[in-house]
């Protein structure tokens, strides 16, 4: 007898266009119906590109026709432009930015896991590998990217009245921190957050980029939803520390991406361990929690970043360790992750 598990196993042969991962692991398959030899599969797709939907539909139907007992196959794909019926489509304003090939969000369920430190070094690491990179700081209330990247210039305006992002170390940057004076606080409600993020995406002259990394604030609030409704995300990277207190909240971040159909590229375990001068390894926050959670969730584990004094010092003085000493062990931990990230994004 044909089962849902058999259907999903067959669909695992279908890769998401441009990725090495299958559509099942990306969470596209939402509903499976099997009745008297007729098989119906419903999928949700965040990309508004009709060619992506067409390719997935054709390859899925071809994969399912070979199943025993299947007489008729119907694959329906719901896209952002199609809406869900019965009300306004929350994805109606979502569209790609010309010139930007991949948009990747770096997220965490909670604060204090070093997400911005990871974002900065991933951006510089991808640049070190030869990619054209932009880094967008979506933490409107507590922007730290200007400090960590060692730049505090205000954006200029282009001839088309778009903001020209400042750049440092070959990475184009945009942050609320560039628009504030000193320690001026941002005291805004949700609608202003959404409008600002829309402007940072579509009213900035990003030029040609291979990757736009988006450093999200902790949690699953206005900034995360606003970003997902503004631009199709090619994937999300989850940053965690090893201990269960962090992993418990990370699961909420994973669930958030799944609910808005954003593919999860993988998990990074930060602050993985500390090596004492005598060579002894001290696991201050435990160890292996990130890898274990990746296995439980069925998503890739991108790597671990140990506790290095050089990483913290580089962030404080605005010179990321990947830039200051790319061949040293602290930088190599990030560059290795960048290589896996680039591989996942094909």
What's the pLDDT tens digit per position in 178-198? 988 777 777 776 678 888 888
Task: Give me the mean pLDDT over the 279-295 stretch.
Answer: 87
The answer to whether residue 168 is domain-embedded is yes
Domain termination site, one of 78, 111, 139? 78
The answer to whether residue 10 is domain-embedded is yes
pLDDT tens across 298-329, in order? 889 999 999 999 999 999 999 999 999 999 99
Could you tell me if 64 and 124 lie in one domain?
no
Could you tell me if 68 and 114 lie in one domain?
no
The model carries a pTM of 0.74
Strands 171-175 and 100-107: unpaired
Q: What pLDDT score was predicted for residue 334? A: 97
Total domain count, the chain: 2
The answer to whether residue 95 is domain-embedded is no
Could you tell me if 123 and 250 lie in one domain?
yes
Read off the pLDDT band of 83 (50, 70, 90). Answer: very low
Q: Could you tell me which of 252, 259, 285, 253 has the C-alpha nearest to residue 106?
A: 253
CATH of the domain at 27: 3.30.300.130
pLDDT at 81 over 80: no
The answer to whether residue 83 is domain-embedded is no
- Under DSSP, the state recorded for 178 is G
Could you tell me if 74 and 121 lie in one domain?
no
Q: Could you tell me which of 288, 248, 295, 250 has the C-alpha nearest to residue 272?
A: 288
Q: What pLDDT score was predicted for residue 87? A: 39
Higher pLDDT, 327 or 21: 327
N residues, the chain: 346
1-15, 69-83, 298-312: which has the minimum mean pLDDT?
A: 69-83
Q: Report how far residue 149's alpha carbon sits from residue 265's, in angstroms, rounded to the nearest whole number.
A: 24
Q: What pLDDT score was predicted for residue 33? A: 86
Q: Report how far residue 107's alpha carbon sits from residue 22's, in angstroms, rounded to the nearest whole number.
A: 22
pLDDT at 26 over 60: yes
Could you tell me if 252 and 300 lie in one domain?
yes
CATH of the domain at 319: 3.40.50.300
Report the run of H or E that residue 273 belongs to, with start and end.
strand 264-275
Q: What pLDDT score was predicted for residue 134? A: 97
Most confident of 27-36, 99-108, 177-186: 99-108
The answer to whether residue 90 is domain-embedded is no
pLDDT at 219 over 80: no
Could you tell me if 67 and 27 lie in one domain?
yes
Print the domain residue range for 226.
100-344
Could you tell me if 44 and 116 lie in one domain?
no
Residues 6 or more apart whose Cβ sits within 8 Å of residue 202: 97, 230, 231
pLDDT at 94 over 70: no
Could you tell me if 57 and 106 lie in one domain?
no
pLDDT at 82 over 70: no
pLDDT at 341 over 60: yes
Could you tell me if 261 and 307 lie in one domain?
yes
**DSSP β-bridge partners for residue 76:** 42
Read off the pLDDT band of 91 (50, 70, 90). Answer: low
The answer to whether residue 128 is domain-embedded is yes
């Amino acid at each position: 007898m044909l089962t849902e598990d058999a259907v999903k196993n067959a669909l695992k042969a279908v890769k998401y266009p441009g990725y090495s991962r299958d559509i099942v692991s990306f969470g596209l398959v939402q509903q499976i119906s099997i009745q008297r030899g007729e098989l119906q599969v419903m999928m949700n797709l965040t990309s508004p590109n009709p060619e992506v939907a067409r390719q997935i539909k054709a390859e899925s139907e071809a994969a399912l026709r070979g199943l025993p007992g299947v007489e008729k196959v119907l694959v329906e794909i719901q896209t952002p432009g199609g809406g869900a019926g019965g009300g306004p489509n929350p994805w109606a304003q979502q569209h790609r930015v010309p010139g930007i090939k991949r948009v990747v969000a770096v997220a965490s369920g909670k604060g204090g896991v070093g997400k911005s430190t990871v974002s900065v070094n991933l951006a510089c690491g991808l640049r070190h590998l030869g990619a054209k990179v932009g880094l967008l700081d979506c933490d409107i209330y507590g922007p730290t990217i200007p400090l960590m990247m060692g730049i505090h210039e205000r954006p200029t305006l282009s001839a088309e009245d778009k903001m020209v992002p400042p750049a440092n170390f070959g990475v184009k940057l945009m942050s609320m921190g560039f628009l504030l004076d000193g320690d001026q606080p941002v005291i805004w409600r949700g609608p202003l957050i959404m409008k600002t993020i829309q402007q940072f995406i579509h009213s900035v002259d990003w030029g040609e980029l291979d990757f736009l990394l988006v450093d999200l604030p902790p949690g699953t609030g206005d900034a995360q939803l606003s970003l997902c409704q503004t631009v199709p995300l090619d994937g999300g990277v989850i940053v965690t520390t090893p201990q269960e207190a962090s992993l418990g909240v990370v699961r909420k971040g994973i669930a958030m991406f799944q609910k808005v159909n954003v593919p999860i590229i993988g998990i990074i375990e930060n602050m993985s361990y500390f090596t004492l001068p005598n060579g002894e390894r001290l696991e201050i926050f435990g160890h292996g929690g990130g890898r274990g959670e990746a296995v439980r969730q069925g998503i890739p584990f991108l790597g671990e970043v140990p506790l290095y004094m050089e990483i913290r010092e580089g962030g404080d003085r605005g010179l990321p360790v990947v830039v200051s000493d790319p061949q040293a062990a602290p930088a190599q931990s990030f560059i290795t992750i960048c290589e896996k990230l680039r591989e996942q994004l094909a």
